[in-house]
Structure 1
Amino acid sequence: MPRRLDYSRYLTHLAEDSARFAEVLSRTPYETAVPTCPGWDAADLLFHLAEVQAFWARIVARRLTTGDQVDELETVRPGDAELAALFADRTAALQEALRDTPAETPVWTWASEQTAGFCARRQAHEALIHRLDAELTAGERSALDPTLAADGVDEVLGVMYGEPPAWGAFTADHDHVVRFDATDTGDTWSVTVARFVGLEPGGGAAHETDCLDWVADDVPPTASVSATAADLDCWLWRRPPVGELTVSGSEATLDRLAAVMADGVS
């Protein structure tokens, strides 16, 4: 499992991938369909990342720490002619807010980690994946940084598809364990696919679904997936890999993993 990157490296990747995203879309007709985001065109993709970065820029800059404080945060979509300027303004605001905020600063997030460091990591990967979406829309795909991609595998397995909430019950199932191997960086990850059952605090919605959680590396896997770190990251985000993945093992385990991925991130 890779080490988490330094805070400054997340900010560097966020800046570089956001700039690449904007540059590619500046040469792409806005009506062009985004192949990896069904129903979206290039204008929708541009506004989406502007809206996401605006949301987190306000949380970090204002040091907001509760869900009630963020409910009112909204970005109004302008006309297409103003989209590029909106994105430029919002990405600059996010990057400035994160640069001015120590990683350990408490801020609200939807995850268990409530820090600016979580926001920097999450937004670096948000920009990376949507940079790839922009490139695939324009037919100009470029390579993903292997170290960032390995960290992306760690984040998507441990946070986006994992991290079962403490308010429910999750019991690791060693009959369904998937090992992921990055063939270029040497990183490995082992997760269990098991059932989470719980009721949201305060009388909220009931949940009963499969999700992932970490298991020790010495637990024997029932299935395995191997590829470069970039291709693993793409595959887990349901974006097309460049090379081949090697997938083997229990069909039942792989089917449960596929169901988690189908219900997860987009």
Structure 2
Amino acid sequence: MICRQRFWRETLTPDLYRTSFRKSALRITELARNDRQIDIPHIPNWTVGDAVIHVGLVFDFVGQSILQGSPIGEQGVAPWANDPANQPETSDLDKWFETVAEDLAEAIWSHQANDKVWTSSKQTNTAQFWMRRMTQEAEMHRWDIEAAYGDSQPINPELAVDGIDEFYDFFVAERLPEAFAGDGSVHLHATDAEGEWMITRNDAGVVVEKKHGKGDVAARGPASDLLLFVWNRQSHSALETFGNTELLEDHQRFLQI
């Protein structure tokens, strides 16, 4: 299990999330008009078209489920998205994606942050969860798709710190609580925004604390690169490291989402 507080950055308001979401969604829409057979370089067997469809189906599932007040597929988004019946019935992926992104934005941001809505989280059921989760989803896959064209732009430092917070207090805490159990500690330090994390392994999982500390390994760099590291988009070689880097390799091997 994981022991930690839930991290919410007060500077990331609903309006700022919505602005970031809209910007990423517009960029994906734009890129969806290009050659969609190009491979995503860091994800095997995934093309630009696959990525656009994946993100669009996630948006569609979440938007419909919020409006319905319960998940539209009882097994969750992945089985629903993999069902051929739910695939987009058009070759105009840019127009399809633009529509589902707009529908999702309306479903989420028609609510106040603290309004109760259906979520996929075990710990929170407010619209703020989706404001963060879908903004981070859009931003990460915007980066993925840009990478296919050799033009990935860094993720905003403040948003990247928020994404690292979410990685630990949602994905690790709720979906992978025991995956990184063991010995050793990892310290991550953002160099361009206020963000530090101490990840201490134990027999039950990890304890994550948002503070300065001395780990068995330390990795520091721009917040965007740290987020890409925890999401397994790039290796620790993109970061400045000190200590036992095998722990960083274990982090990526065991904490995959």
AA in 2 matched with 1:130? H
Change over 3 Å in CA distance of 1:246–1:100 after alignment to 2? same
**What is the correspondence of 1:220-231 to structure 2 with a 5 Å cutoff?**
220-231=214-225
Aligned partner of 1:247 among 218, 224, 241: 241
Contact 1:181 1:187 in 2 (8 A): yes
**What is the correspondence of 1:26-45 to structure 2 with a 5 Å cutoff?**
26-27=33-34, 29-45=35-51
Map of 1:132 onto structure 2: 143
AA in 2 matched with 1:125? Q
Contact 1:177 1:222 in 2 (8 A): yes
Map of 2:18 onto structure 1: 11
Q: Give me the whole-angstrom Cα distance separating, in 2, the residues matched to 1:98 and 1:50.
A: 15
AA in 1 matched with 2:13? D
Residues 1:76 and 2:73 aligned together: no
Secondary structure class of the residue paired with 1:26: coil
- How far residue 92 of structure 1 moved from its aligned partner, in angstroms, is 0.6
**What is the correspondence of 1:46-85 to structure 2 with a 5 Å cutoff?**
46-64=52-70, 68=74, 76-79=86-89, 81-85=91-95
Q: Give me the whole-angstrom Cα distance separating, in 1, the residues matched to 2:213 and 2:223.
A: 22
Map of 2:4 onto structure 1: none
Q: Give me the whole-angstrom Cα distance separating, in 2, the residues matched to 1:122 and 1:2.
A: 12
- How far residue 170 of structure 1 moved from its aligned partner, in angstroms, is 10
Q: Give me the whole-angstrom Cα distance separating, in 1, the residues matched to 2:76 and 2:133.
A: 17
Aligned positions, number = 245
Change over 3 Å in CA distance of 1:249–1:77 after alignment to 2? same
Q: Give me the whole-angstrom Cα distance separating, in 2, the residues matched to 1:65 and 1:26.
A: 30
Map of 1:199 onto structure 2: none
Aligned partner of 1:176 among 181, 184, 201: 184
- How far residue 184 of structure 1 moved from its aligned partner, in angstroms, is 1.1
Identify unmatched segments of 5+ residues in structure 1. Answer: 197-210
Change over 3 Å in CA distance of 1:252–1:171 after alignment to 2? closer
Contact 1:101 1:116 in 2 (8 A): yes
Identify unmatched segments of 5+ residues in structure 2. Answer: 1-6
- How far residue 22 of structure 1 moved from its aligned partner, in angstroms, is 1.3
Residues 1:192 and 2:200 aligned together: yes
- String of CA shifts for 1:128-150, please: whole Å, max 9, x gaps: 01001110112222232111111
- How far residue 36 of structure 1 moved from its aligned partner, in angstroms, is 2.6
Contact 2:41 2:147 in 1 (8 A): yes
AA in 2 matched with 1:240? Q
AA in 2 matched with 1:104? N
- How far residue 26 of structure 1 moved from its aligned partner, in angstroms, is 1.3
Q: Give me the whole-angstrom Cα distance separating, in 1, the residues matched to 2:101 and 2:232.
A: 25
Contact 2:32 2:93 in 1 (8 A): no
Change over 3 Å in CA distance of 1:79–1:62 after alignment to 2? closer
- TM-score, normalised relative to structure 1: 0.79
Contact 1:49 1:127 in 2 (8 A): yes
- TM-score, normalised relative to structure 2: 0.81
Change over 3 Å in CA distance of 1:218–1:240 after alignment to 2? closer
Change over 3 Å in CA distance of 1:241–1:96 after alignment to 2? farther
Q: Give me the whole-angstrom Cα distance separating, in 1, the residues matched to 2:126 and 2:13.
A: 14
- String of CA shifts for 1:170-200, please: whole Å, max 9, x gaps: 9987x5221110011132111223344xxxx
* Percent sequence identity over aligned pairs: 25
Residues 1:143 and 2:154 aligned together: yes
Secondary structure class of the residue paired with 2:92: helix
